[in-house]
Structure 1
């Protein structure tokens, strides 16, 4: 009898180990990761995340020895050729870390730094010891696609979500895309509505993003973008590790008298129902496809062939 129990327990341990290994492999296979991409307009070599469903792209380039700056590139289709915004965050979570968003105002690209503590509301513009310097040669609005290349000085800072020490491997970053027109689009403090076209996180290969030509590329940057009226100082050390669940820590509880974790938040149902008229929890975020635009030379890194719509 004892031998039978021992063998049964041993089989259970082996089975559990096999399941854990299988789960790890499935998770790895489904991860959205960056891949090398050379921008044809500037020659800058990025590690780029590119979503096949939304045609949203974000690329990052670093010096051989990262200190506090990187070169970034946003590219995404504008709804109707003119509307919406796209952005990225320095962690896989949109709440807490430094964010940057860009949008079109006619034939001009407008951008600003943001910080969000409540994704239901417009994130306020923030200021700090960081700055954004556009690279004109890599910035355009063509065929309904906005491309914005920039030097982000002072942006590599652990208190903002991603420090230089974290560039020794891969790091989780976030992205978001909205088809909703930006209100007061001429101002860096323009009003950003919900990212209804898609959002999620990805793994950035920051070792692969390093390049000896970084200083040459950084020299292409122009003057820093100034903040709009009403910008506030950023709150440092507000970013938390992304748990893969935007409501982690509040499951089944409440926040500000509003039930979370499958019920409602701000009067809008979450967890697979609707929010602001946009289906969430694995749906299509309003069904937007990015206008069918393609990213010249880009590569798809969705892992499972679609952009995540359930994590931010």
Structure 2
């Protein structure tokens, strides 16, 4: 049986969080397989939905629906493309961050250590920088920073030393080469967890994910109408911390600025004080949901 392109995570909770109005304008900045978008359209009558995705594979999933506009670009350009369509403000924005299950399951995309293939990891295959470029061209300090900050790798120095020694002999181009080079850095007991962190670090740097997320959050706050909703699903602590701090304080450090009366000067307020996580039933049916966290904010 053919596998679905992508199973949407926290679907019902996301839709409820958007508080969809039948005549509103909404944006799904991570269209992917269209699971969340399809559900959003069920609640829209005279409104519109804009779906963003930079992946050419996702473009094939776009709907032929007069209420839907597909934009094949990175969501860091959300403001520019909404203005292109004469939209200044919207009623809700949804972001399901991370990599789609489809991309993880396509060996040649290079996102998963489960397969053989090129060390690629580009979400946008038109982009120039690949994970192999990072491994082969970044200096020691740059590589150590990536693996420590984005992967929280304890033995990052040892890993990088081995990478640099190996690349002097020949370029590191494939997943199998990469795994063989760092093999003695990996504890057999925690092999999958360790490799997941290493691959996460390379993927974040390849796609500049945290910089893109910051740009997106700042733009979203200005694009929402008063009472409009921002719904964000994160999958690792680095993403979640940025989202949590921005909702709380309007900045990425989480430092709340208060006026004379003690009111926090943030343009967003949290709708769910406690982060929403998937049910045990959802995690069992969709392993990608295991680390998901949902945060909902409203424009003040």
Q: State if a TM-score over 0.5 links the two structures.
A: no
Higher relative CO (Cα under 8 Å, sequence separation at least 6) belongs to 1
The structure with more helix, counted as a fraction of residues: 2
User: How high is the TM-score relative to the length of structure 2?
Assistant: 0.29
User: How high is the TM-score relative to the length of structure 1?
Assistant: 0.28
The structure with more strand, counted as a fraction of residues: 1
